[in-house]
Amino acid sequence: MTIIIISSNIAVVYDAYQYYKQKPFFERHRDYYYTQLDYKITDNNSSSDNTLEKSASVQYKFYKQFYDKFNATLLADISNLLHYPGILANSNAFHYLSSQITELRDKPLKKEIYFIVPVKMKDNPHLIEQLKGHTQFYEGEEQKYDYGVLYYNEKTSLISIDENALYGSQLVHNPIIIYHNISPEQLKKEQEANVISKLTYVHDIMYKISDKEFNTFVKNNHLTNGIVSKTNVMEKFEHNWKLIKRILIMNFIFSILVLLLEGMIIHTIIKLEYEVNAIEHALKKVFGYSLFQKNRKMILITFVTSLLSIITAATCAIVLNLGSIGYMIAGGIIILILELLLISFNIRRVENAKIQTILKGGNI
């Protein structure tokens, strides 16, 4: 149980570090906001599907109208759709993407949509057709695009934004990127298609908003009584970071208490073992048995139960789709080594105290 708790806490520390690494990105976008522009379901309009479609339509209308003026920046997480780390990005995210991927700086981008793919996936014969299908999921089969493919070599970690993620954003490693290179003018001319599917990312778009024009849009589109909000991206990051710090503090205190309890239990068990089987241990000491030979049962039980705990923790992480599984396993191995060292220390300490007393004819 100790290993499960401590290794899980190590994974939490790693995830917190990964989240903190996003801070420079959000500091550079501290003037940007996420938006929500949704109509309420009323008694007069009981169809939730119709309301969802209207909400998606007005949110996408806002995106097209202010794409250029508010520098609407899209870096939406689409890993669930691709079953692989993935990002849906637009041309306003080019500066950020090109700062992380060298290949984007070297070639002029003339086509409308690019699939930016790690070079290790170049030999996958079905990948590009699958990505075209995913693009049609968002844009509709009616839209016809000129596609291009770029492969990149370097290892990279990119911000992906997802309102449904635990903290709203995360770092994804070596993702596939569906990059929309469509101009603002062309975007405005596009007909709406598959508008409901756009609900998966419209709340993840960042805008450098003008309050006056935002409020005018709300009024003109009869959203005054709707579900309307704008959330500053830096404020959201800082709010989530405060929550993470509280969790880290609680986990640290809890981990210390668990380790202290574990140490007390180990010491008590060893002390009882040398009291109950004092004569046996004294004879083994005299005949030159090694520490492992004298305490084989205790060490093996500790090793096996710890190994099972590590496997259980890793299995839970896989089932729950948690990241940092490797760090969880590494943490479990470190705790196992510390437990074995603690057992060894306590055995020598108790052994020296008890066996000398027995050999001198004292009471156990």
Q: Is the pLDDT of residue 234 over 60?
A: yes
Phi, psi (degrees; rounded to nearest 5) at 306: -65, -40
At 13, the pLDDT band (50, 70, 90 cuts) reads confident
Q: Does 110 lie in the same domain as 50? A: yes
Range in 10-14, 107-111, 321-325 the model is least confident about = 321-325
**Residue 292 burial (10 A CB sphere; 0-12, 13-18, 19+):** exposed
Does residue 20 belong to any structural domain of this protein?
no
Same domain, 349 and 249: yes
**Within a domain: 355:** yes
Query: Are 155 and 118 contacting, i.e. CB atoms less than 8 angstroms apart?
Result: no
The reply to whether 46 falls in a domain is yes
Domain assignment present for 233? no
As a whole number, the mean pLDDT across the chain is 86
Is 266 found in the same domain as 199?
no
294-303 pLDDT, tens digit per residue, is: 788 888 888 8
Across the chain, how many H-helices and E-strands are there? Answer: 14, 10
pLDDT tens-place string over residues 114-123: 999 999 999 8
Q: How far apart are CA 207 and CA 202, in angstroms?
A: 11
* Whether the predicted pLDDT of 36 surpasses 70: yes
Is the same domain home to 58 and 176? yes
DSSP E strand boundaries for 55-129: 75-77, 86-90, 113-118
3-state helix, strand, coil in the chain (%, to 5): 60, 15, 25
Type and span of the H or E element at 172: strand 169-173
| Inside any domain, residue 299 | yes
Report how far residue 122's alpha carbon sits from residue 117's, in angstroms, rounded to the nearest whole number: 8
Q: What pLDDT is recorded for position 321?
A: 64
Residues 146 and 265 in one domain: no
Work out how many domains the chain is built from and give that number. 2
| Opening angle at CA 330, ends 324 and 332, nearest 5 | 105
Range of 17-31, 34-48, 52-66, 321-335 with top mean pLDDT: 17-31
Whether 27 maps to a domain, the answer reads no
**Cβ count within 10 A of residue 75:** 25
Residue 235 in any domain: the answer is no
Residues 199 and 74 in one domain: yes
Lowest mean pLDDT among 204-218, 266-280, 345-359: 345-359
| 116, part of any domain | yes
Full DSSP string of 79-93: HHHHTSSEEEEEGGG
**Residue 184: its H or E element:** helix 184-189
Judge if 56 and 165 occupy the same domain: yes
194 with 139, same domain: the answer is: yes
Of 188, 208, 228, the position where a domain reaches its end is: 208
Whether residues 45 and 161 share a domain: the answer is: yes
What whole-number distance in Å separates Cα of residue 122 and Cα of residue 140? 26
Task: Choose the most confident range, by mean pLDDT, from 186-190, 211-215, 289-293, 313-317.
Answer: 211-215
Out of 234-238, 268-272, 289-293, 351-355, the most confident range is 234-238
Q: Within 10 A of 308 (CB to CB), how many other CB atoms are there? A: 12
Shared domain check, 328 and 183: no
Q: Does residue 35 sit in helix, strand or coil?
A: strand
Q: Could you say which of 187, 208, 229 is where a domain stops?
A: 208
Strands 86-90 and 176-180: parallel
Is pLDDT larger for residue 305 or for residue 46? 305
Is the domain of 98 the same as that of 165? yes
At residue 102, what are phi and psi to the nearest 5 degrees? Answer: -60, -40
Domain boundary among 156, 188, 208: 208
User: Are 194 and 256 part of one and the same domain?
Assistant: no
State the residue range of the domain holding 130.
33-208
